[in-house]
Amino acid sequence: MKFNTRKLVTLSLLMALTIVFTRIASIRIPFGGVEGVRVGFGSLPILLAGILFGPISGFIVGALGDLIGYFLNPMGAYMPHFTLSAGLSGFIPGSIYYFTFRPKSNIHFSSKLQVSRPSFWLIFISILIGQVTISLLLIPYFLSALFSIPYELTIIPRTITQLISIPIFSWVIWIISNKTNIFDYVKSK
């Protein structure tokens, strides 16, 4: 994986947006004195990094965004479990999109078959699998193991949050990728 200046600056900007959206511009719903659900757009820049730049970039933006965000605005004790979850929230959708749906630039099809921009559904499926894995399985498991918060207590608000967030995240990323020149920007050196 090669980082040029443009990619490094863009990933840094996405990381900064993640920190602001997660730490400042989000609503926290506590359960038993511990944050059980966070509603906001903190995952959006992480997902965007994973889908546009690949799974490793998504992981870096998520994990470093969580780590730096903790040092800037801590909310309780540091738990590396949640840093791993933040990194995986960029890695999983990025991997699914990158290795399954991404058009291969070295394979030339006829103009009718070649896909230049991702469809909404390809982005939606990538985000759906990642968010269900992280937000509905992994994070509730960590909350249960670390803080003894019952899985049943967090699953309903998390499911409602994801039913709203996943289509919004998919739509925003689809708009950004199809209505702007972001893919041309990412591919240029």
pLDDT in tens, 141-169: 998 999 888 888 888 888 988 999 999 99
Spatial separation of the C-alpha atoms in residues 152 and 157, rounded to whole Å: 10
Residue 61 belongs to some domain of the structure: yes
Lowest-confidence range among 4-8, 35-39, 58-62, 84-88?
35-39
Q: Identify whether 174 is part of a domain.
A: yes
pLDDT score recorded for residue 28: 80
Sole residue written with tokens 């540091």: 78
Query: What integer pLDDT is reported at residue 186 of this predicted model?
Result: 65
Residue 14, domain extent: 5-103+118-187
Which pair of structure tokens corresponds to residue 90? 């960029």
Q: 116: which 2 tokens?
A: 């230049």
pLDDT band with cut points at 50, 70 and 90 for residue 184: low
pLDDT digits (tens, 9 = 90+) for 9-30: 999 999 999 999 988 888 887 7
Residue 113 lies in a domain: no
Each residue's pLDDT tens digit, 69-113: 999 988 888 999 999 999 999 999 999 998 887 655 544 443 343
The answer to whether 134 touches 63, Cβ cutoff 8 Å, is no
- The mean pLDDT value of the chain amounts to 85
pLDDT at 114 over 50: no
Specify the CATH number for the domain of residue 44.
Answer: 1.10.1760.20
66 domain-assigned: yes
Question: Could you tell me if residue 112 is inside a domain?
Answer: no
Q: Is residue 141 part of a domain?
A: yes
**What predicted TM-score, i.e. pTM, was given to this entire model?**
0.85
**pLDDT on residue 178:** 83
In a domain, 111, yes or no: no
Is 133 part of any domain?
yes
| Number of domains the chain contains | 1
Q: What is the CB-side half-sphere exposure of residue 77 using CA atoms within 13 A? A: 7
